[in-house]
Structure 1
Amino acid sequence: MWFTRRVVVLRPFDTSLLSLVQPWFHHPEVNRWLGGPSWPVPRADHSDELFRGLRVLRSHTWVAFDRDGTAVGYIGGEVYDRWCRYSEGPDGPVVDKIEPGPAMGFAYVVDPRRWRQGFGVAILRACMDAPEVADVVLFAAGIEPGNVASVRCAIAAGLLPESASPDWEDMIYHVRRR
């Protein structure tokens, strides 16, 4: 399908926007890859917590709106002090391949009624271009290989797979470095 390059505007996510995005998580495919309607809830600040070898610096979550002001997607995640590979070994956690940060790991969803219209790529690009993450040097989205639409979307937005085989959680991280 041919379409013009989409433009979206990101608005910080809060409880007033929950009713716009929560219905998307009832869709079987969204539920399969991300979880049900309880997933997109405003999260507590986890700054300074450790998560899989990374120190959380801050969180950002947005709802994306099209030119007409209609909500078309949701994206968010945490900014960390660095990036690393994490796995569970027989003797406990294994942290390696450490890179300096800040780094941002995120997840995203597009309104199922807007799939295949270019909004996913626009949302990813808008997130990576947001002034709030201007200091971030590495962006990463963990995507299960079977989620072909999300893989295509990430690659089109410049997030390339770090490996050909999934990690210990069946994820392949798609990364873009500045």
Structure 2
Amino acid sequence: MVSEPLASSDGEPSVVLLHATEEDLAAIEPWFDDPDTLKYLGAFTTVRAPGARRYIAWNPNRERVAFIMTTPAEAAGKVLYNQVAVGYTVTVNHRSKGYGAATVRALINHPDTQDVKIFEAGIHAGNEGSIKVVEQSGFGLSSLTYKFRR
């Protein structure tokens, strides 16, 4: 069950980050029907990525407020466990209330990620809310990726 979260000293909502269970994944699947989630994160199938670690952020009212996952980076065919890609979504009812940044910070401080040296979040340029979340969480812009699409 969910333990009581610690109060945030900076006024940010507090969350407890727990490993996502199959019950959690079933409960959040409808979140991926939201047009913004589909646009920026993709379909629910993305949460089943091989090697991903999946977490649910719970608020003090014991509500699921966010989903966040990491996948190890790869270079030259080798998995880099000290570098992860981060993807997340906040339920529509809890957006713009600080839960995104609280969830990202909880991930950075989670015992599972203490060996991780680099967290990367690939964010669509138009996703201003998500850009704000990672900037509030201490991320800095390191590069731009240009893509050609047919």
| TM-score normalised per structure 2 | 0.80
Q: After the TM superposition, which parts of structure 1 deviate over 4 Å for at least 4 consecutive aligned residues?
A: none
Indicate the RMSD between aligned Cα atoms, in angstroms.
2.4
Stretches of structure 2 lacking an aligned partner (at least 5 in a row): 1-9
Partner of 1:92: none
Count of aligned pairs: 137
Match of 1:119 among 92, 99, 104: 99
The question of whether the paired residues in 1 share the 8 Å contact of 2:47 and 2:69 is answered with no
Distance in 2 of aligned mates of 1:105 and 1:160: 14
Which structure is higher in RCO with an 8 Å CA cutoff and minimum separation 6?
Answer: 2
Partner of 1:70: 63
Stretches of structure 1 lacking an aligned partner (at least 5 in a row): 47-58, 85-94, 171-178
Question: Which amino acid counterpart does residue 120 of structure 2 have in structure 1?
Answer: A
Higher helix share: 2
Distance in 1 of aligned mates of 2:69 and 2:118: 15
Deviation at 1:38, TM superposition (A): 3.5
Match of 1:168 among 142, 147, 150: 147
Q: Which has the larger Rg?
A: 1
Higher strand share: 1
Structure 1 residues 135 and 37 mapped into 2: Cα distance closer, same or farther (>3 Å)?
A: closer
Deviation at 1:101, TM superposition (A): 6.4
The question of whether the paired residues in 2 share the 8 Å contact of 1:6 and 1:122 is answered with yes
Three-state SS of the structure 1 residue aligned to 2:47 is coil
| TM-score normalised per structure 1 | 0.69
Partner of 1:55: none
